[in-house]
């Protein structure tokens, strides 16, 4: 039967070159080609089927994940895929698995914190998956407070070993992904104790399970921590618990790039800053920002396509009803999310560049940009994951009742995604790290110190603290200089107000603690400024293709002005803009929604997602929603029989009883 594209009329309206936008979204032609090839490879292979996850028991689900991970590795080896291709393939398999932690944290931890000899030994094994590793930092009693970890690594000079021990229940490692059932090794974080002296938290490579029979090694107790939020979802991952009972490891299994312990038991701190022990978290936070754009764009793709298919009310003379995407309220909820998906894509690209830059500098023993890299990765991880988790849920609501069906793909996407607000640093805790960085920067204002990078705008404090916006027309709000000035002034004024209020407290720590809700808001304002400014930079760079710049300008305007609208209280109370200018911003926003409307479907097509990856009947490329939803319902195991199991035991007797009562 010929396939009908129910969204063709929408695609025909597009005013830009979708194929060119696919390249911009992917970052380069090369990145697009790799991504496109890997997504098709996964989508066309029935071994990667994923539409049955919500109906599997935990054990079936987990075994299925093991099968897929093994099969993915087989394909990676058979096809001689590069690291980039392999990581894309795993991405499109779209199922959290122990391999995420092996490649995403265990390998980077050894790379970042190990010495050359340690790389030689451990990375060689890890690259071939001859060992499987995880990242075991969090404990039952402490996650955010890394300095509060209790596991100990005591140096025994006699045997030249460390004794790894869990002294309390709360020191049990708790949460590490891949730990529960699969990992043979872990990078664990423990307090280094030498001669009774505590040198703080350090990383160690520890073998957990036998490479022959997979049983835990002596002194190790290990298991899965149990079911998590949602059906399917993150339950494909074996988040684990681990206790050590005086487990011995050789001295050379402490990760020794940052500091070393000599044969004689001397602790040597190299020139490298101690904070590099936290380096893996900086790396992963950076990848999480790019992942946020992937997750949000996926939900937005579903909601945009379905909003174009769905009709409700407004039929004139028996004609078709209104597509719900034409309701202005739908647009005002949906288009800022579409714009955010693009914004997070571009800020993620920039953050990757920043991370690579800081890594190069660290290799050359240049550490000056590390605090900024920490603040940017922490802040943007927090900002983008909060917005994405909220955005996925909003997309579910934008799809009405059908959004609540698992076959919409949105409930599972939300359940898989929402822990990103907690893992790799609780989002509030991370905002407070940004705030600390901002308070330090504010305290340097006027000292003559040159401010660079994302705080360079504070250099113009004298102007930004007293300026009023020159916006006179709605059109002015499209000018980058007006938008930037309003966002810079708001961020700086919020930060300076916090600093002033802290200085009134008996001491800075007390002041910081009292002011922390305001500080978190100041951190959000600073991070939003970064996203807006990187979006503007992107548009001002090389963008080829018919109509691309216009569309991206409209999306950038929507991103910035919808934030301005959402945080109007802050823009007005800090005196950055007037109520009149706020009304003009709203007027511009409405016109931008109208500009994006005919392009909305094409703008989500530019994500180039296969139907397999989207995993959503509502978001199908061809928009053929209703027949497929109807078909899908009959596949539910509950529909295997007409009369359900349990009817004769629990329903029939009730009905009989009512019959008897009725006769009486």
Ligand X SMILES: Cc1cc2nc3c(=O)[nH]c(=O)nc-3n(C[C@H](O)[C@H](O)[C@H](O)COP(=O)(O)OP(=O)(O)OC[C@H]3O[C@@H](n4cnc5c(N)ncnc54)[C@H](O)[C@@H]3O)c2cc1C
Ligand Y SMILES: CCCCCCCCCCCCCC(=O)SCCNC(=O)CCNC(=O)[C@H](O)C(C)(C)COP(=O)(O)OP(=O)(O)OC[C@H]1O[C@@H](n2cnc3c(N)ncnc32)[C@H](O)[C@@H]1OP(=O)(O)O
Q: Which residues are annotated as catalytic? A: 424
- Name which of ligand Y, ligand X, none residue 232 binds, using a CB cut-off of 5 to 8 Å depending on partner kind: none
Neighbour count for residue 55 (Cβ, 10 Å): 15
137 interacts with ligand Y by CB under 6 A: yes
The residue assigned the tokens 């939803």 is 629
Task: Count Cβ neighbours within 10 Å for each residue of 240-277 and write b for 16 or more, e otherwise.
Answer: bbbbbeebebebbbbbbbbbbbeeeeeeeeeebeeebb
371 contacts ligand Y (rule: CB under 6 A): yes
Q: Counting Cβ atoms within 10 Å, is residue 653 exposed (0-12), middle (13-18) or buried (19+)?
A: exposed
Structure tokens at 365: 């023993």
* Binder of ligand X out of 39, 64, 87, 137 (CB under 6 A): 137
List % helix, strand, coil for the chain (3-state, nearest 5): 60, 10, 30
Task: Compare residues 523 and 617 and give the one whose CB is closer to ligand Y.
Answer: 523
Q: CA angle at residue 217 from 123 to 190, to 5 degrees?
A: 65
If the CB atoms of residues 172 and 340 are measured against ligand X, the closer one turns out to be 172
Please, what is the minimum distance in Å from the beta carbon of residue 436 to ligand Y?
6
User: Taking CB under 6 A as the rule, does residue 91 contact ligand X?
Assistant: no
CB of 98 to ligand X, least distance (A): 10
Smallest gap, in angstroms, from Cβ of residue 360 to ligand Y?
A: 16
Question: Which position among 281, 303, 435, 582 is part of the footprint of ligand Y (CB under 6 A)?
Answer: 281
Annotate each residue in 81-120 with x if it binds ligand Y (CB under 6 A) or - if it does not, as one string. Answer: ------x------------x---xx---------------
Indicate the residue among 101 and 496 with the shorter CB distance to ligand X: 101
Strand ranges (E), 276-398: none
Q: Does 394 bind ligand Y (CB under 6 A)?
A: no
Q: Max CA-CA distance within the chain?
A: 95
Binds 433: which of ligand X, ligand Y, none (CB < 5-8 Å by kind): ligand Y
Q: Which of 113, 152, 207, 433 binds ligand Y (CB under 6 A)?
A: 433
Q: Where are the beta strands (DSSP E) in 232-353?
A: 240-244, 247-250, 259-261, 267-269
- Taking alpha carbons only, the member of 240, 191, 250 closest to residue 216 is 240
Among 43, 66, 225, 429, indicate the residue that binds ligand Y (CB under 6 A).
429
Pick 147 or 329: Cβ nearer ligand Y: 147
HEC per residue, 478-508: HCHHHHHHHHHHHHHHHHHHHHHHHHCCCCH
Q: Does residue 275 touch ligand Y according to CB under 6 A?
A: yes
Residue 379 in contact with ligand Y, rule: CB under 6 A: no
| Residue 342 burial class via C-beta count within 10 angstroms: exposed 0-12, middle 13-18, buried 19 and up | buried
Selected binder of ligand Y within 370, 380, 413, 445 (CB under 6 A): 370
Task: Please give the residues from 138 up to 197 whose contact with ligand X meets the rule CB under 6 A.
Answer: 138, 143-144, 175-177
> Should residue 512 be labelled a site residue for ligand X when binding is judged by CB under 6 A?
no
Cα separation, 16 vs 236, in Å, equals 40
Stretch (H or E) spanning 204: strand 197-207
Q: Which residues bind ligand Y (CB under 6 A)?
A: 87, 100, 104-105, 135, 137-138, 143-147, 177, 275, 278, 281-282, 284, 287, 370-371, 374, 423-425, 429, 433, 436
């Amino acid at each position: 039967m010929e396939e009908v594209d129910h969204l063709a009329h929408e695609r025909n309206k597009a005013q830009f070159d979708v194929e060119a936008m696919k390249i911009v979204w992917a970052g380069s032609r090369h990145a697009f080609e790799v991504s496109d090839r890997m997504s098709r490879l996964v989508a066309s292979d029935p071994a990667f089927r994923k539409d049955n996850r919500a109906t599997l028991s935990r054990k079936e689900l987990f075994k299925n994940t093991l099968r897929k991970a093994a099969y993915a590795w087989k394909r990676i080896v058979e096809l001689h895929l590069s690291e980039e291709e392999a990581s894309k393939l795993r991405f499109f398999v779209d199922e959290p698995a122990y391999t995420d932690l092996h490649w995403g944290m265990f390998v980077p931890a050894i790379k970042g914190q190990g010495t050359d000899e340690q790389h030689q030994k451990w990375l060689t094994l890890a690259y071939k998956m001859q060992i499987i590793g995880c990242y075991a930092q969090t404990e039952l009693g402490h996650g955010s407070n890394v300095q509060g970890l209790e596991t100990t690594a005591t140096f025994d000079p006699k045997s030249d070993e460390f004794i790894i021990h869990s002294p309390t229940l709360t020191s049990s490692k708790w949460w590490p992904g891949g730990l529960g059932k699969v990992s043979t090794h872990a990078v664990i974080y423990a307090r280094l104790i030498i001669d009774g002296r505590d040198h703080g938290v350090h990383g160690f490579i520890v073998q957990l399970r036998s490479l022959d029979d997979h049983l835990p090694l002596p002194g190790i107790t290990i298991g899965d921590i149990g079911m998590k939020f949602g059906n399917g979802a993150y339950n494909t991952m074996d988040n684990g618990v681990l206790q050590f009972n005086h487990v011995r490891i050789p001295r050379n299994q402490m990760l020794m790039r940052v500091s070393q312990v000599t044969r004689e038991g001397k602790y040597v701190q190299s020139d490298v800053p101690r904070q590099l022990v936290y380096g893996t978290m900086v790396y992963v936070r950076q990848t999480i920002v790019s992942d946020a754009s992937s997750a949000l764009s996926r939900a937005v793709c579903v909601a945009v396509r379905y909003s174009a298919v769905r009709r409700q009310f407004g039929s004139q003379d028996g004609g078709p009803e209104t597509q719900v995407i034409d309701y202005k309220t739908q647009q005002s909820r949906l288009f800022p999310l579409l714009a955010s998906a693009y914004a997070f894509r571009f800020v993620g690209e920039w953050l990757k560049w920043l991370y690579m830059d800081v890594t190069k500098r660290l290799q050359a023993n240049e550490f000056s940009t590390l605090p900024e890299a920490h603040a940017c990765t922490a802040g943007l991880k927090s900002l983008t994951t909060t917005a994405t988790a909220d955005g996925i849920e909003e997309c579910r609501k934008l799809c009405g009742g059908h959004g609540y069906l698992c076959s919409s793909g949105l409930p599972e996407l939300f359940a898989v995604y929402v822990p990103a607000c907690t893992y790799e640093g609780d989002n509030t805790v991370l905002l407070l790290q940004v705030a600390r960085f901002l308070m330090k920067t504010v305290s340097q204002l006027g000292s003559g110190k040159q401010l660079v990078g994302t705080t360079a705008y504070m250099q113009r404090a004298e102007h930004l603290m007293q300026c009023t916006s020159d916006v006179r027309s709605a059109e002015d709000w499209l000018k980058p200089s007006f938008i930037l000035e309003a966002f810079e002034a708001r961020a700086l004024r919020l930060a300076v107000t916090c600093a002033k209020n802290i200085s009134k407290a008996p001491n800075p720590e007390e002041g910081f603690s009292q002011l922390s809700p305001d500080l978190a808001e100041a951190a959000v304002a600073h991070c939003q400024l970064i996203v807006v400014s990187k979006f503007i930079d992107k548009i001002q760079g090389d963008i080829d293709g018919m109509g691309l710049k216009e569309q991206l300008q409209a999306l950038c305007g929507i991103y910035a002005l919808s934030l301005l609208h959402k945080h109007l209280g802050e823009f007005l109370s800090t005196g950055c803009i007037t109520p009149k200018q706020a009304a003009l911003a709203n007027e511009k926003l409405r016109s931008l929604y109208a500009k994006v409307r005919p392009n909305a479907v094409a703008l989500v097509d530019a994500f180039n997602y296969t139907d397999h990856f989207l995993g959503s009947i509502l978001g199908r490329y061809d928009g053929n929603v209703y027949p497929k939803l109807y078909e899908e319902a009959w596949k539910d195991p509950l529909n295997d029989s007409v009369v359900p199991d349990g009817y004769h035991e629990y329903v029939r007797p009730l009905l009989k009883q009512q019959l008897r009562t009725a006769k009486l």
